[in-house]
């Protein structure tokens, strides 16, 4: 009889390492998710081994994050960063490294596979068939959803990714969705079996992201005490729409020139995706809008410094065209800073409209400027949202996420779903 107790999980994150700094390249909320969940699973007695592609020659074969959580670097292609569009060509090399690792041990080393993003799902598919264990998969983003909500200057996801996602949905024993909305998208757009889709909300590190003194945070960051700070955190690419914030700020200043003396638009993050082809995009846009004097472009920051940016801000803007959840919104709220977020995808769950922040329909800079101006003009209203933000975020701890995932794992172990499909590499 198959064991129902999960002792060791093989987590697959091919295209981005959990050791990378979130906010640049392909590193983002998924990296945070994988690391934080792995730590909490280890606390529950479930060992996690994370397989990722080696991107530097000096990386060790195995790196321990904490006891019970390790990262295995698999050689697949050149060490330097590859564009995600080139990674499908390295699937076989990466899979070979994963299978060789398991072969070094006695049979049954891994009880279950948890893959993240569709490329990892392809690897998990074949490893599942070889090892005879369940596959749990988390999409994080989906091509069909992204293509329905493209930014004006963004490129659609290719047909190969759509097909790859459809295959993973068919073969996975369990699909983990961040929100009920994502669960419906898996069923409606990909034909997933409802009984194999589980909703598990991501969390936030409430020990790092917590309320604190705005004045002290501004002092540490070198920001004026009386500034009005509008904050963007994330990868600089069309999907995340930082241009919406800059255009909204330009409208605010045009309507009230005196704001120029106190307004600061801080963009914390690095280039990613299509944004890599335009490295000076934000600074060029700020210059073209005539607001280069109020825009500060800041490189990705480690979590303690990032928490200070949240505390220092009057409001965090999340104008993304799509988000499967929106960890930035949750981190900001946990620090006591309300959020103005696009009313899309998982942001409708991450932000409680009118309580912890404001959901904005569409991406019209005029609408965004009007909402952001309210945060400047109505401090009492902003303070009420701040209190609501802390209370809302408190319900999203990573320990609860890990506990729910462990239940999903146990269900997958107890009801291994097999679909006989011929696979080749």
Is residue 73 within 8 Å of 49, Cβ to Cβ? Answer: no
Q: Is 138 annotated as a binding residue?
A: no
C-alpha distance from residue 193 to each of 171, 175, 284 (Å): 11, 9, 47
Q: Is 161 annotated as a binding residue?
A: yes
What gap in Å lies between CA 421 and CA 425, rounded to an integer?
13
What gap in Å lies between CA 284 and CA 250, rounded to an integer?
14
Q: Is 21 annotated as a binding residue?
A: yes
Q: Is 31 annotated as a binding residue?
A: yes
Instruction: Give the relative orientation of helices 303-312 and 214-221 as an angle to the nearest 10 degrees.
Output: 120
Give residue for tokens 């690419």. 237
Q: Is 240 annotated as a binding residue?
A: yes
Please give the span between the terminal C-alpha atoms of the chain, in angstroms, as a whole number: 31
Q: Give the pairing of strands 339-342 and 357-360.
A: parallel
Q: Is 235 annotated as a binding residue?
A: yes
Cβ-based neighbour number of residue 99 at 10 Å: 14
How many Å is the Cα radius of gyration of the chain? 22
Q: Is 365 annotated as a binding residue?
A: no
What gap in Å lies between CA 23 and CA 30, rounded to an integer?
11
Q: Is 348 annotated as a binding residue?
A: no
Q: Is 146 annotated as a binding residue?
A: no
Is residue 129 within 8 Å of 173, Cβ to Cβ? Answer: no
Q: Is 110 annotated as a binding residue?
A: no
CA nearest neighbour of 26 among 141, 160, 161? 141
DSSP string, 268-285: E--B-GGGGG-TTHHHHH
Q: Is 331 annotated as a binding residue?
A: yes
Q: Is 337 annotated as a binding residue?
A: yes
Q: Is 117 annotated as a binding residue?
A: yes
The residues that bridge with 69 in the sheet, in sequence order, are 48, 66
Q: Is 104 annotated as a binding residue?
A: no
DSSP string, 339-408: EEEES-TTHHHHS-BTTTEEEE-S--HHHHHHHHHHHHH-HHHHHHHHHHHHHHHTT-BHHHHHHHHHHH
Task: Pick out the residues of the known binding site for 1D-myo-inositol 3-phosphate.
Answer: 15, 26-31, 84, 117, 141, 161
Task: Pick out the residues of the known binding site for UDP-N-acetyl-alpha-D-glucosamine.
Answer: 21-22, 29, 235, 240, 323, 331
Task: Pick out the residues of the known binding site for Mg(2+).
Answer: 310-311, 313, 337
Task: Pick out the residues of the known binding site.
Answer: 15, 21-22, 26-31, 84, 117, 141, 161, 235, 240, 310-311, 313, 323, 331, 337
């Amino acid at each position: 009889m198959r064991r129902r107790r999960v002792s060791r999980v093989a987590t697959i994150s091919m295209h981005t390492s959990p050791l990378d700094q979130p906010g640049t390249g392909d590193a983002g909320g998924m990296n945070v998710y994988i690391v934080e969940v792995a730590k909490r699973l280890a606390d529950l007695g479930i060992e996690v081994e994370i397989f990722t592609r080696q991107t530097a020659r000096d990386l060790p074969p195995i790196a321990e994050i904490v006891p019970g959580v390790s990262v295995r670097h698999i050689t697949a292609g050149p060490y330097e960063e590859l564009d995600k569009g080139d990674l499908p060509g390295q699937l076989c090399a990466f899979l070979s490294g994963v299978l060789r690792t398991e072969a070094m041990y006695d049979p049954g080393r891994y009880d279950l596979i948890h893959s993240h993003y569709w490329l990892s799902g392809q690897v998990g598919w074949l490893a599942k068939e070889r090892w005879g264990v369940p596959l749990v998969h988390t999409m994080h983003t989906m091509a069909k959803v992204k293509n329905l909500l493209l930014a004006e200057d963004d490129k659609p996801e290719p047909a190969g990714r759509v097909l790859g996602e459809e295959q993973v949905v068919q073969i996975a024993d369990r699909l983990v969705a961040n929100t009920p909305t994502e669960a419906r998208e898996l069923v409606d757009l990909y034909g997933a079996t409802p009984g194999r889709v589980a909703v598990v909300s991501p969390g936030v590190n409430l020990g790092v992201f917590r309320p604190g003194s705005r004045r002290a945070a501004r002092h540490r960051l070198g920001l004026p005490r009386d500034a009005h700070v509008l904050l963007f955190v994330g990868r600089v690419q069309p999907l995340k729409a930082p241009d919406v914030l800059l255009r909204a700020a330009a409208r605010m200043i045009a309507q009230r020139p005196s704001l120029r003396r106190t307004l600061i638009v801080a963009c914390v993050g690095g280039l990613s995706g299509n944004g890599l082809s335009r490295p000076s995009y934000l600074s060029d846009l700020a210059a073209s809008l005539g607001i280069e004097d109020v825009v500060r472009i800041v490189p990705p920051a480690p979590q303690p410094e990032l928490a200070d940016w949240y505390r220092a801000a009057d409001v965090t803007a999340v104008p993304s065209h799509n988000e499967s959840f929106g960890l930035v919104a949750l981190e900001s709220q946990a620090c006591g800073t309300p959020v103005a977020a696009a009313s899309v995808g998982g942001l409708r769950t991450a932000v409680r409209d009118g309580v912890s922040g404001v959901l904005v329909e569409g991406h019209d800079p005029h609408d965004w400027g009007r909402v952001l101006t309210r945060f400047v003009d109505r401090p009492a209203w902003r303070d009420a949202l701040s209190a609501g933000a802390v209370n809302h975020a408190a319900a999203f701890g990573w320990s609860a996420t890990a506990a729910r995932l462990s239940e999903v794992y146990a269900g997958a172990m107890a009801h291994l779903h097999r679909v006989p499909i011929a696979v080749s590499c």
